Structure 1
Amino acid sequence: MPNFQISINDINQTAANTGVGADATSGQAASINDSDLIFDTGGSWDWYSGGPEVNVQLDTNVVNQTAVNTALDGDASSAQAAGINDPDALVDSGSGGPDFNFQISTNLINQTAVNTAVDVDSLFPLG
């Protein structure tokens, strides 16, 4: 019997902070736990019982984090943490001819931070 397992996990986080006479800060934390298991105990293909078994496991895990902090006369800072835990198992204990087993995992973490701080006192030293 064919087994199909498809997992798609997507986290998008965006922070934009602007501080005037104050600090602009952001903190982001993201975590994906994607434990997948296919356990196939069926018999394999032979000429009398039909075609071969097909086991397919597709995982896509994506974390996107973007932070833009702008501070006038303050501090601009950001902290980002992301983790993907993707333990996959595909176990085929069938007997006989060959089965077709496919396991594809795609894990992607994108983190972007832009921090700009302007000290207005130094812009006008005589003021």
Structure 2
Amino acid sequence: MPDFEFSFNDINQTAVNTALGGNATSAQAAAIDDRDTFFDSGDSWDWSSGAPDINVQVDTNVINQTAVNTALDGDAHSSQFAALDDRDTVVDQGSHDSSDLNFHIDTNLINQTAVNTAVDLDHLFPFG
């Protein structure tokens, strides 16, 4: 029994906060759950009964998170969380097994960028 999974998962998150006399705060959370489970409970391939079982999983998972927080007379905060779960599970309980084929090719990428700037206007100019 052949099983093919081709998936592309892409999450882009951008937060831009500006506060004057207050706080600039951002929080981002991203999660990708891209599991492939291949379960074979029948009689698998033996040389007299046919072709092997084939499982193919090709994944590309990308998470991009960008936060830019600027506070004048306040605080600038950001928090970012990203998680990828990209498992490939093959369970074969056949009684006449030979080589089943399992291919798992994945590309997982997490980019996180945070730029936080806080300016205290009361003390910006020493002779003010």
**Same fold by TM-score, threshold 0.5 exceeded?**
yes
Could you tell me how far 1:62 is from its partner in structure 2?
2.1
| Cα displacement (A) at 1:52 | 4.0
After TM superposition, where is structure 1 displaced by more than 3 Å over at least 4 residues in a row? 40-43, 48-53, 92-97
Q: Please tell me whether the aligned partners of residues 45 and 99 of structure 1 are also in contact (alpha carbons under 8 angstroms).
A: no
The answer to whether the 8 Å contact 2:69/2:116 transfers is yes
Q: Which residue identity lines up with residue 107 of structure 2 in the other structure? A: T
Match of 1:74 in 2: 74
Residue 14 (structure 1) aligns with: 14
Q: CA deviation at 1:17?
A: 0.9
1:103 Cα shift?
1.6
Structure 2: 5+ residue runs without aligned partners?
none
Partner-residue secondary structure (3-state), 2:122: helix
Q: What code does the residue aligned with 1:19 have?
A: A
The CA deviation at 1:49 is: 5.5
1:116 aligns with: 117
> 2 CA distance for matches of 1:97 and 1:82?
40
Contact 1:34–1:86 (Cα < 8 Å) also in 2: yes
State how far apart, in whole Å, the 1-side matches of 2:4 and 2:85 are: 21
**Are residues 35 and 55 of structure 1, via their aligned partners in 2, closer, same or farther at CA, if it must alter by over 3 Å?**
closer
2:45 is aligned with 1:44:
yes
Amino acid aligned to 1:101:
N
Separation in structure 1 between the aligned mates of residue 52 and residue 88 of structure 2, nearest angstrom: 22
Cα distance in 2 for partners of 1:29, 1:35 equals 19
- Superposition TM-score, scaled by structure 2 size: 0.79
**1:105: Cα distance to partner?**
3.2
- Runs (5+) with no aligned partner, structure 1: none
| Within-5 A mapping of 1:89-108 | 89-94=89-94, 95=96, 97-108=98-109
TM-score w.r.t. length of structure 1: 0.79
Supply the RMSD in Å over aligned alpha carbons.
2.3
- % identical aligned pairs: 63
Give deviations 1:69-123, integer Å, cap 9, x for gaps.
1112211110111222333202344535433221223332221101111112222
